[in-house]
Structure 1
Amino acid sequence: MKKRTILLVLKVLISAAAFSQEGADTARLLEEVTVRTFGQYRKLSEAGVPVRIIDVNNGDLYNRSSLVNSFNTIAGVRMEERSPGSYRINIRGSSLRSPFGVRNVKVYWNDIPVTDPGGNTYFNQFAWNNFSSLEVFKGPASSLYGAGTGGLVLINNLDQWQPGISVDYITGSYNLQNIFASARFGKDENKNQFTYAHNQSDGFRDQSAMRRDNFSWLSQLKLSDKHELSATVLFTDMQYQTPGALTLAEYNTDPLAARPAAGGFPGAEQARATIYQKNILAGFTSKYQISSSLRNATTLYGAFSQIKNPTIRNYERRNEPSYGGRTTFTWKNAQWAINGGAEFQQGYFNTQVARSRNGNPDTLQTNDDINYQNLSVFLQGDWSMEGKWFIQAGLSLNRTNVTFSRLSSYPVVQQSRSYKNELAPRISIMRKVGARLSFFGTVSRGFSPPTVAELLPSTGVISTDLEAEEGWNYEMTARYLLLQNKLRIEATAFYFRLNNALVQRRDAAGADFFVNAGDVKQKGIESHVDYTFQPLHSKLISYITINADYTYNHFRYGSFIKGTDNFSGRQVPSVPKGTFAAMTDLRLKSGFFINVNFYASSSIFLNDANTATAQSYQLLGSRIGWKAPGRKKIGYSIHTGVDNLLDQQYSLGNDINAAAGRYYNVAAGRNFYAGVSFQLNTKQ
């Protein structure tokens, strides 16, 4: 059945070469995309690091509620959704540490660190119109970006700026209501952009409704030929219900039900299990050309997050103010580039946990002040020779300090931990063979101290005895460009040995806690193919794009013994052995478009003992519509689409190592959506 399904999908993908997506009026060829990761600022075909880019052209294929489907088209990357609004990102196994949220992946938005000083990233605060492109780098990036062994995501928002306004409205199954509005004004010397987004859904499970309102303002001012200043503000107010994980029997009987009452604990609906979340992020960046070869970029920012979370076992409230900055000096000539600087972050967090009574706080249990501080000092050198060799070597020195003060116990006792100075080197060598073939070899060391959520998990037990995880990564990439860079073939093989790996556990009440495993041996192969075709003399077809990604993972515990349990040699949970993603996207000159996408995942182990499994699944989706062709000032379009066309029942965002077998969170079944959009371009 699975083979027949895959063959059918491949046939659909190939035969769909008569339509296209909504996006730019012309396809963006590979050499036009600029890579910024590790200070490259090079065209993708010339970049000295393997990186994948999601932009508004290749990411706008779904209902814009989230980036789950777009991230999952990238080999080695897996974004999961436990319920609407609750996401986590797995880059080469990094979700091993993430029962919820995004950890062990460093995220920046317009040069501002989104990952807070405590190591957590509220990725769900972003809406679709908060980005124009995202760069995804897989593996340790500690030599330039500090803590994190999973990877790096750079979010940019002014890449394709032009004055005008745009409004989009999307509705669909489960009472989906999405509104996106943007206003852009000014000139190239003074760009301004305001965005607003509203996302709402009743959810596909009981107790899974969500609502998010998002506002952003960006301003970029060119003060002189040498000096540019930009300011950014992002505010998000959201709430989303959390239905809780089910046992296999409950999942098979009624997968759409919320967690029922059991073991003296109320069910998710009775407890009104919900996350109420507010985030504000504000900062400015100064870029100054000191001389013809020396420039400086400095970012200062402040952030505040407030979380209220009634659950079946308690009521948690977190206030998390933080601030920080990053400065980088760059010296360049024809062959050399040297980057040096530092990043500092400071957080003053407070976490209060009370008993929960029907979704309201009751008796206070714990009250903790948390002081979390990290500092990274880095230096990187790039050398290129005759366009054939590119060598990049970097080194960072990192320091992390954390102090807990439990105010709910008298006398107040402080628990502190200073993680040792971590050296994180990285060297990458690229060799170009002719104009089409490139080879990359990379050796890097990554590290990641426990986050605040791991040091103070929902059990309420402070765990300063946890060690930072660290390890060496080795990888080789081959990239081949054909047909005037319209066809790209890329393959990467990697080996990463991670020591003191942080592994999630859950107790009978569903509270999470963490332990250090001995080591994890991560081996894998990631492959990617994309092709863009623009027939020069066709009166029918504007362009055709086809992408395909395949991932093979061989992740195993090395030495991992906890008490009487020996998990040595077992497969690491939460990581599928293989995934495959394919997409075809074509557009007619008449304005009609269609895209077809397919994703398949192998089965996934859900516990360290490898005794529980989430079954394999295959997802098929499509989107069709029409965009008014040939209009430069006023544009409008309509579209409709379907996700999970095969109506597969599968679990996404599983609870790993859960007690009582509560692993399963069902994903949405077959669902439909439709939308309209309007754009006004005021550029003269």
Structure 2
Amino acid sequence: MRGSGKSMVTSALLLCLAGAAHAADTTELPPVRVNATRLDIPPLDLPASLSVVTLAPGDSGKPGVNLSEALVGVPGLLARDRQNYAQDEQISLRGYGARSTFGVRGVRLYADGIPATMPDGQGQVSHFSLDAADRVEVLRGPFSALYGNASGGVVQLWSAEGGDPAVTRVGLFGGSNATMRLGLSTRGKDGGFDYNLALSHFQTAGYREHSRAQRESGNARLGFDLGAAGHLTVVLNTVALPQAQDPLGLTRAQAMADPRQAIAAADQFDTRKSVHQAQGGAVYELSPDADTQWRLMAYYGERGVQQVLSVPVAAQRNPLSAGGVVDLDTSYGGLDARWTRRAELAGRPLEAVLGLAYDDQHQRRRGYENFAGDVLGVAGRLRRDEDDRVWNLDPYAQLYWRFAERWSLLVGVRHSEVRFRARDHYIAPGNPDDSGGVSYGATTPVLGLQYRPGERLRFYASYGEGFETPTFAELGYRADGGAGLAFDLQPSRSRQGELGMKWRAAADWQLEAALFRADTRHELAVASNSGGRSSYRNIGRSRRQGAELSLRGELGDGWRLALGATHLQARFRDAFPSGTPAVRIPAGTRIPGVPDNYGSLRIERGGALGWRVGMEWQGVGAVTVDDRGRERAPGHVLTGVDVGYGLALGVAKLHLSARVDNLFDRRVIGSVIVNESNGRYYEPAPGRTVMLGAQLEF
């Protein structure tokens, strides 16, 4: 991937100039309403990096299993399908979140305005419904701090409103590795009531041994027009992962010898995970006049997780061991109240927001030995039993002012109070009472200035400060090996700056470019990882800086293009000790899991009826796999192609599709497990795979 950042930028500029040459014959695209900054600002006028990807499930040949399918062409974002449904997708934005070994950390997630990230900063996307989706918004850079704790970036999925006439879709996809997905969705409108309902079933034998998984999910979005009394939106969703096998990572030698294998411990302990989650939320909006709006959001959910790990039996002899089976019962909920007012200041338009957010998470955590006698992979003796609670209270304010004909200002501030409490119910010889708590607080200001030299061109500069607390997973063990939670950990604090340009080169061409830098202090890193215990420490300063480019437009004759390219340098700026025995990591070392260059490109032609064809390329540079930088996962470029045909069957439409991923059957590492204690860092991606689909719309 050497030189790939420069080549991607050059290609994008050439394509932009080519598109501008024929743009006189095109029509203006309709405006897209976005919610990224809680203000009614068109994406072009936002002094921040924001990508909005509209989705059309009926026209796509993709099965809609993973969020990464929808994010081709989005710069700054790296979404890795781990081919391991026991660990969820790996999502990072400008290097934030890349070091997460499971789930999503450092990036805030929302579905229909309802948090999919818990107050401690841990999130997951397994319940995101692409069948019901209308669009995905990806906010990067300083203004992400407006969302509070762990906001290295923000990813939001929005379901479509129901319309008239009603539309029902039934889709069946099947292909390599005994993969199958069945989806059913319907959306419509009846007077002041609209609905969007979606159900899906997914199953796969997995590319690797011991990676079978099954998932059922449902999503409902109900809208109620209450006339002068406002509008009510109700969102309900559920996801069940009855059993997802975990093949665990491989060493480099194992991955090269046989990328489809699972290590012996995966079979011995039958490593696996089961998840059941149900949640509901409601958003009430009231506009007493044309310039004022009140909005109240409330949500509640429950999530149960049981995971069997491969912690060796010998390691559990330590009286402080929590065992090898994790059993979590979590309830969570919250409120967000917001007031918006449009007015004038000095004769120029102004919009202001005042809000208050509260989120609460209560978790009953139990740990069991992963053996009973000579039987491995079962829940044995209780080794951990505690009540964990975290809550946050965040007032925030934002203001957008077009203080001159060509100038605008967007400012905001958020104050976060995050409190962790743990009550220990497991007290035994050598394992004392570990109850305790810690509180974190931070005020995060943001500011953006934009200049408009013309109707289609914008320049902007923005600055913001953010913070990220440890999650309960990182607080779980002390770095000194003692009893109790690591309440001595500090939150990491960041300062981000960005310079950007947005150009609507023609009615159907969009070019955006940004330079960014984020400096973080008190970065969290692994202190030690052995015997099933991962502990963390604050290590000092780090820096993530680079450039990104986004290009979307019409190439002519029905062809469309979407390109996203990122150059990123992520480095530790202070030396620190790592591992046991400790090895000193020098300043300037690369942050593991973060490539220097990555990007994606899609070119497609066609629509709902007739032939449709698409081609995709996704490139990722090499990444180091641990703090020491001793090993690297090599970079790669993968090619995918898809073809489809849509035909009318009376009032119905049938969409047939075929897709091939990794067309040239490259052997690649799809994702890495950063700082894995046994050197099993590597998670191989599948070779060439084929997916066939049929969707009936009526």
1:537 maps to none
Instruction: Select 2:417's aligned residue among 373, 384, 399.
Output: 399
The yes-or-no answer on 1:558 pairing with 2:577 is no
Change (3 A) 1:632 1:479: farther
2:534 maps to 512
- What's the CA shift string for 1:132-152, capped at 9, x where partnerless? 211001134465321124111
The yes-or-no answer on 1:367 pairing with 2:385 is yes
Q: Contact 1:133–1:159 (CA<8 Å) still a contact in 2? A: no
The yes-or-no answer on 1:251 pairing with 2:262 is no
2:452 is paired with a residue whose SS is: strand
1:183 maps to 186
The yes-or-no answer on 1:166 pairing with 2:181 is no
Cα shift at 1:248: 1.1
2:370 maps to 356
Change (3 A) 1:209 1:127: farther
Taking only the aligned residue pairs, the percentage that are identical comes to 19
Cα shift at 1:457: 6.1
The yes-or-no answer on 1:453 pairing with 2:452 is no
1:670 maps to 688
Q: Contact 2:523–2:539 (CA<8 Å) still a contact in 1? A: yes
Q: TM-score, normalised by structure 2?
A: 0.88
The yes-or-no answer on 1:426 pairing with 2:467 is no
- What's the CA shift string for 1:440-481, capped at 9, x where partnerless? 111000111111222126999621111101111000111111
Q: TM-score, normalised by structure 1?
A: 0.90
Change (3 A) 1:93 1:201: same
d(CA) in 1 for partners of 2:686 and 2:391? 40
Instruction: Select 2:309's aligned residue among 308, 311, 323.
Output: 311
- What's the CA shift string for 1:263-311, capped at 9, x where partnerless? xxxx101211111001111111110113332211001111111000011
1:62 maps to 62
Name the amino acid aligned to 1:271.
F
Change (3 A) 1:639 1:28: farther
1:362 is paired with a residue whose SS is: coil
Q: Contact 1:343–1:377 (CA<8 Å) still a contact in 2? A: yes
Name the amino acid aligned to 1:351.
R
Q: Contact 2:435–2:484 (CA<8 Å) still a contact in 1? A: no
1:487 maps to 509
Cα shift at 1:123: 0.9
1:645 is paired with a residue whose SS is: coil
d(CA) in 1 for partners of 2:496 and 2:2? 34
Q: Contact 2:61–2:693 (CA<8 Å) still a contact in 1? A: no
Q: Contact 2:230–2:285 (CA<8 Å) still a contact in 1? A: yes
Unaligned ranges ≥5, structure 1: 16-26, 261-266, 535-540
Cα shift at 1:422: 0.7
d(CA) in 1 for partners of 2:493 and 2:38? 24
d(CA) in 2 for partners of 1:331 and 1:475? 28
2:664 maps to 646
1:252 is paired with a residue whose SS is: helix
Q: Contact 1:31–1:44 (CA<8 Å) still a contact in 2? A: no
The yes-or-no answer on 1:474 pairing with 2:488 is no
2:137 maps to 135
- Give the alignment's Cα RMSD to 1 decimal: 2.7
Q: Contact 1:491–1:525 (CA<8 Å) still a contact in 2? A: yes
Instruction: Select 2:125's aligned residue among 111, 123, 126.
Output: 123
Q: Contact 1:428–1:441 (CA<8 Å) still a contact in 2? A: yes
Q: Contact 1:104–1:148 (CA<8 Å) still a contact in 2? A: yes
- What's the CA shift string for 1:531-557, capped at 9, x where partnerless? 1256xxxxxx5x221122211111110
Name the amino acid aligned to 1:251.
A
Aligned residues: 649
Change (3 A) 1:116 1:149: closer
The yes-or-no answer on 1:524 pairing with 2:546 is yes
2:284 is paired with a residue whose SS is: strand
1:329 maps to 339
1:661 is paired with a residue whose SS is: coil
The yes-or-no answer on 1:342 pairing with 2:356 is yes
Instruction: Select 2:679's aligned residue among 654, 658, 661.
Output: 661
Name the amino acid aligned to 2:618.
Y
Change (3 A) 1:173 1:161: farther
Name the amino acid aligned to 1:77.
L
Name the amino acid aligned to 1:391.
L
d(CA) in 2 for partners of 1:571 and 1:462? 29
1:211 maps to 214
d(CA) in 2 for partners of 1:438 and 1:159? 31
- What's the CA shift string for 1:70-91, capped at 9, x where partnerless? 3353211111233342212111
2:620 maps to 601
Q: Contact 1:83–1:242 (CA<8 Å) still a contact in 2? A: no
2:208 is paired with a residue whose SS is: coil
Instruction: Select 1:279's aligned residue among 272, 277, 296.
Output: 277
Change (3 A) 1:3 1:149: closer
Q: Contact 1:547–1:582 (CA<8 Å) still a contact in 2? A: yes
2:75 maps to 75
Cα shift at 1:610: 1.4
Q: Contact 1:197–1:214 (CA<8 Å) still a contact in 2? A: yes
The yes-or-no answer on 1:225 pairing with 2:224 is no
d(CA) in 2 for partners of 1:565 and 1:506? 13
Change (3 A) 1:564 1:412: closer
The yes-or-no answer on 1:384 pairing with 2:407 is no
1:125 is paired with a residue whose SS is: coil
Unaligned ranges ≥5, structure 2: 16-25, 312-323
1:573 is paired with a residue whose SS is: coil
2:672 is paired with a residue whose SS is: coil
Name the amino acid aligned to 2:359.
Q
Change (3 A) 1:31 1:476: farther
Cα shift at 1:386: 5.8
